[in-house]
Chain A
Amino acid sequence: MSQVRKKRREAFLLGNEAVVEGALAAGCSFYAGYPITPSTEIMETMAKRLPQLSDGVFLQMEDEIASMGAVIGASLAGRKAMTATSGPGFSLMQEQIGYAAMTETPLVLVNVMRGGTSTGLPTSPGQGDVQQARWGAHGDHPILVLAASDVPECLEMTVTAFNFAEKYRTPVILLLDEITAHTREKISLPEPGDFEIFSRLVPTMPPEWYKPYEETLRGVPPMPPIGKGYRFHVTGLTHDLQGFPTSRPEEVKALVERQFRKIDRFFHDVQLVEHVATDDAEVLVVAYGCVARSARLAVRQAREAGAKAGLLILKTLFPFPRIHVEKLMRACRLVVVPELNVGQISREVKRVNEGHTTVRTINRVDGLIITPSQILKEIS
């Protein structure tokens, strides 16, 4: 008897709704947030879905600072937890992002970028939070910043964000933009087993041997949930291997270096890109988010017109995927970086270029998208 293949469940979802599907597939059981356009659908969908899980928790907090606090608390208690926000809320979260980075608390933060600074353009797309995502929290700290450019990717990258957070004990920021978040597309819903799901490493040694911030062979210290017998201290102060505050220079240096090494060692794993016709490309477009969609069409049209154009879509923004970009840049005579800001990723591209080729930027900050024809004009 032939096996009847189960038909995949499909849905017509917003990018924001796909984020929720991805989060649940990754094992997220805790959400705390504060409503803000254009991210609110993530929160509203979570409010309906999470109470249906046996241990799911959804909280609407008093502000974004509190939202991040609750997410950090839940993560310390062993949950996979997330929040979502947009520009002004993202600014408020920076203090707690720093705390999560310092205490190496896994969490996922989805920031749906809107236009402008301050209240700006709440219902328009933008990509102006890219450098804030990297350096928004004060002090030197490693962080992972990802981006998604269509609805299926919203789902996939949310799963990836949770996996990275758990694997590397770090906050992970997933950047969407208003267009990606509010586009409705058909996607197939995840079934158990579709994705490889990581959960944080927990200590197996006796509690008295456990050092919460000691480097392991794997590079990332294991992390027990609160209440399981490993009574350790968590602090935003610079701390020693046991987690207690220290200001001894050698211990401070060791901590900061290990925190960076934890991510640096795994560049090959965390730097995700998609190549579109880059093999023989002479002109390269580097794009991410909704702009990557315009770039895809522009590159196809350029190819049809005979130009050797290629596209590199960045799914990881930080640590900046230097290896991929650098390699292609050496082979191209022109690199074009279109962005909905005054040039935030192009700064990184120019930084790794080191004079090898010409870098041109297309910047738009009027609340409208960059069209395929705008990019086509630059590359043909």
Chain B
Amino acid sequence: MAEVTQLIHQYLRHNKKFPLVFCPGCGHGIVLGSLVRGVHALGLDKDDVVVVAGIGCSGRIAAYVDFNTVHATHGRALTIATGIKMANPELTVIAVMGDGDAFSIGGNHLIHAARRNIGVTALVLNNFIYGMTGGQCSSTTPEGAYSHTSPMGQLEAAFDIVELTRAAGAAGVSRGTVFHVKALDGLVADALTRPGFNLVEALTPCFTQYGRGNGFKNAVEMFKWLKERAVPLEAYEKLEDKSGRIPIGTFVRRDVPGLEARYAAMREKLREMKGGAA
């Protein structure tokens, strides 16, 4: 407990911004914890950490952490993060986004950030729903799920965030849940140390806007659901019946330098060529 108190005092704007905006039973606070523990474990200087968040419940995380924080426009967190990282590659830049933020309105930016492999850590809080606007379906809402804009059940298929980001060329892709906190901590800390574009998908329940309309009696049931459905990647691959199970763990982990490093190398090469010619 003492350690938690210390982390709160060290990393959160607790005297300005508490209590958190999140509903009872929301998993976002746990992801916020993983983010703080990750930065702490790596011993990063707060002045060197930038959190760029989008719009939605997850976007509010930026206001709570005592880093350099930017609460961007909806879906555009990665574009601002890209500008910051290219302008100052020394900074550790983290983009915090929700599922609607990162994969609906910001989908184009996400696949291009992955493709150009910008050295940004993307933390996507996937709760399958637009929470802040009151429970509309998103591009990760499972087929058949109910929401205010899919009252007869969602007809459209959901994005698989891991597969999409992998296909787009990210250097690192992983998935965790807020039930498996230690594992999530590890995934976030690992992503923060890796070069290039690293995405962590955190499955986090939204009882208020998603659970109530989809047969969950309370938030605890949603956490139990995560516990039962999520399977570590290695075990998942050995499963005969994979239906309804969600693999978690690290899916992609490639050693490729980020765009900012490659750009600096190109500038250096240009200078050498010029120097040689003179």
Contact = CB atoms under 8 A, between A and B. Distances in A.
A136 B68 CA distance: 29
Contacts of B109: 62, 65-66, 69
Interface in A324-362: none
B84 A76 contact: yes
Nearest to A62: B112
A234 B71 contact: yes
Contacts of B85: 73
A106 interface: no
Contacts of B112: 61-62, 66
A51 B266 contact: yes
Given A227-B47, A231-B66, A237-B71, A65 B83 contact: no
Interface string A20-55: 000000000010100000000000000000011110
Contacts of A70: 79-80, 82-83, 86
Contacts of A69: 72-73, 76, 78-80, 82-83, 109
Interface stretch (A77-85, A166-174, A310-318): A77-85
Size category, A interface: 35 or more
Nearest to A70: B83
Interface string A264-291: 0000000000000000000000000000
B88 interface: yes
Interface in A235-274: 235-237, 242, 244-245
Contacts of B267: 51-54, 56
B70 A78 contact: no
Interface string A283-303: 000000000000000000000
Interface in B25-79: 46-48, 50, 52, 62-63, 66-73, 76, 78-79
B73 A96 contact: yes
A76 B70 contact: yes
B47 A66 contact: no
A133 to B, nearest CB: 19
A378 interface: no
Interface string B264-278: 001100110010000
A214 interface: no
A234 B70 contact: yes
Contacts of B86: 30, 57, 59, 70, 73-74
Given A30-B87, A65-B76, A96-B76, A226 B50 contact: yes
Contacts of A53: 267
B115 to A, nearest CB: 9
Nearest to B88: A77
Contacts of B63: 233, 235, 244-245
A72 B69 contact: no
Contacts, number: 138
A235 B80 CA distance: 12
Contacts of A73: 52, 70, 79-87
B79 A229 contact: no
A228 interface: yes
Interface in B72-111: 72-73, 76, 78-88, 90-91, 108-109
Contacts of B66: 231
A232 B13 CA distance: 11
B73 A227 contact: no
A286 to B, nearest CB: 36
Given A77-B83, A233-B62, A244-B16, A57 B47 contact: no
Contacts of A52: 267, 270, 274
Given A59-B86, A62-B108, A235-B63, A242 B70 contact: no
B263 interface: yes
Q: Which of B66, B81, B82 has the most CB of A within 10 A?
A: B82
Nearest to B17: A244
Contacts of A245: 63, 71
Contact of A59 (B46, B78, B82): B82
Interface of B: 16-17, 46-48, 50, 52, 62-63, 66-73, 76, 78-88, 90-91, 108-109, 112, 263, 266-267, 270-271, 274
9 contacts: A53-B267, A59-B82, A73-B83, A73-B85, A74-B87, A76-B70, A76-B83, A77-B87, A96-B73
Those 5 A-B pairs whose CB atoms lie nearest each other, nearest first: A73-B83, A69-B79, A70-B83, A77-B87, A235-B71
